Amino acid sequence: MKTEKSIAIQYDQEDPLQSFRKEFYISDNTIYFDGNSLGLLSKRAEQAVESIMEAWKRHAIDGWTEGTHPWFYLSEQLGDLSAPLVGASTDEVIVTGSTTTNLHQLVATFFKPDEKRNKILADELNFPSDIYALKSQLKLKGLDPDDHLVQIKSKDGNTLQTQDIIDGMQDDIALIVLPSILYRSGQIVDMETLTKEAHKRGIIIGFDLCHSIGSIPHQLTEWDVDFAFWCTYKHLNGGPGSVGALYVNKKHLGKEPGLAGWFSSAKDKQFDMEHTLTPAEDAGAFQIGTPHVLSAAPLLGSLEIFKEAGMDQIREKSLKLTNYFMELIEIELTDYAFTIANPRDDQTRGGHIFLEHPEAARICKALKENGIVPDFRNPNGIRLAPVALYNTFEEVWETVKTLKEIMQEESYKKFENKRGVIA
Q: What is the CATH number of the domain that holds 220?
A: 3.40.640.10
0.95 surpassed by pTM: yes
Q: Is 290 annotated as a binding residue?
A: yes
Q: Which domain holds residue 383?
A: 5-32+310-414
Kindly state whether residue 41 falls inside one of the protein's structural domains: no
Considering the domain architecture, whether residues 315 and 287 belong to the same structural domain is answered as no
CA distances from 31 to 94, 200, 370, 413 (A): 33, 47, 9, 22
Domains in the chain, number: 2
Pairing of strands 375-377, 31-32: unpaired
Same-domain status, 273 and 172: yes
Would the annotation count 100 as a binding residue? Answer: yes
What per-residue confidence (pLDDT) applies to 2? 79
129-141: average pLDDT: 98
Q: For residue 143, what pLDDT band results from cuts at 50, 70 and 90?
A: very high
Q: Is 208 annotated as a binding residue?
A: yes
Residue 243 lies in a domain: yes
**Residue whose C-alpha is closest to residue 329's, from 400, 385, 395:** 400
pLDDT of residue 419: 72
**Of 275, 308, 341, which one is at a domain's C-terminal end?**
308
Last residue of a domain, one of 280, 308, 336: 308
The dihedrals phi and psi of 186, each to the nearest 5 degrees, come to 80, 15
Q: What is the pLDDT of residues 54-108, one digit of tens each?
A: 999 999 999 999 999 999 999 999 999 999 999 999 999 999 999 999 999 999 9
Is 262 among the annotated ligand-binding positions? yes
How far the first Cα of the chain sits from its last, in Å, is 36
- In three-state form (DSSP H/G/I as H, E/B as E, the rest C), the secondary structure along 58-106 is HHHHHHHCCCCCCHHHHHHHHHHHHHHHHCCCHHHEEECCCHHHHHHHH
Task: Identify whether residues 124 and 237 lie together within a single domain.
Answer: yes
Same domain assignment for residues 182 and 300: yes
Residue 421 confidence (pLDDT) above 60: no
11 marked as binding residue: no
Q: Is 99 annotated as a binding residue?
A: yes
**pLDDT tens, 147-195?**
999 999 999 999 999 999 999 999 999 999 999 999 999 999 999 999 9
Residues 219 and 361 in one domain: no
pLDDT at 106: 98
Specify if 229 maps to a domain. yes
pLDDT tens sequence across 7-36: 999 999 999 999 999 999 999 999 999 999
Amino acid at position 330, single letter: E
Q: Are residues 19 and 75 in the same domain?
A: no
Lowest mean pLDDT among 32-41, 290-299, 352-361, 411-420: 411-420
Cα–Cα distance, 68 to 71 (Å, whole number): 9
Q: Is 90 annotated as a binding residue?
A: no
| Residue 128 is labelled as binding a ligand | yes
Q: Specify whether the CB–CB gap between 99 and 231 falls below 8 A.
A: yes
Q: Please indicate, yes or no, whether residues 107 and 176 belong to a single structural domain of this protein.
A: yes
**Which CATH number goes with the domain that contains 24?**
3.90.1150.10
Domain identity same for 175 and 28: no
Is 373 within 8 Å of 37 (Cβ atoms)?
Answer: no
Does any domain span residue 419?
Answer: no
Assess whether 14 and 53 both reside in one domain. Answer: no
CB 38 within 8 A of CB 366: no
Per-residue buried b or exposed e for 61-92, using 16+ beta carbons within 10 Å of the residue's own CB: eebbeebebebbbbbbbbbbbbbbbbbbbbbb
Considering the domain boundaries, does residue 202 fall inside one? yes
Q: Is 221 annotated as a binding residue?
A: no
